[in-house]
Amino acid sequence: MRKIRLCIGSNDGENIVKSHMGDAECFYIYDLFENSQNEFIEKRNNIARDMEHAKANKMAEIIKLVKDADLFVGQKKSPNFINIASRTKYQPVVIKEDKISDILIVLHRSFEKVHSSVTRRKNGEIFNTVLELE
C-alpha cells in the first residue's frame, strides 16, 4: 500500500504552528496511507527552533531531524519552503487548516497529487513547486 511520511510543526500536537514550520516546538511525524488511514509515528523536539529564519543552516538542521519524511507541511510559503522545493528531495506543502486532524483530511483528499510529487522527488527529480492545498 502506498504511503507518504509527513512532518507537521506544532506546539501542542493538535494544531499546526501559526508561524513558519521551523518555529514549532516539535515536529509530529505521521504516515498517510492511500486507503485514507494514517498513523502517528512520533514527536520530535525541534532543536533548531531558535535559529534565524531563512538561513540555510536552520533548514539543514531541521532536515536532519526529519530526514525520513517525504512531505513538510506548513501554513506559510516561507523562504525555506521555497528553497526546500528547489534544492532537496522533500516536498513542501502549504495548507491553511489549523487542526492537524483537518490537515490529514485535506492530504487524504489530495493523496494522488501529493503522492505523485513525492514519487517524482524520490526518483531524483527536483522542481520548484510548493504544493498549496485547500
The overall average pLDDT reported for the chain is 94
Annotated domain spans of the chain: 3-133
For residue 32, how far is the Cα from the chain centroid?
A: 12
Determine the pLDDT at residue 75. 94
pTM as predicted: 0.93
Considering the four listed CATH numbers 3.30.499.10, 3.30.420.130, 3.40.50.620, 3.30.70.2740, the one that applies to the domain covering 3-133 is: 3.30.420.130
Determine the pLDDT at residue 56. 64
Determine the pLDDT at residue 40. 99
d(CA 88, CA 29): 19
Burial 71-95 (b: 16+ CB within 10 A, else e): bbbbbeebebbeebbeeebbbbbbb
Determine the pLDDT at residue 116. 98
Give the strands of the sheet with 26-33, arranged side by side.
38-45, 26-33, 3-10, 71-74, 91-95, 131-133
The kind and range of the H/E element at 45 are: strand 38-45
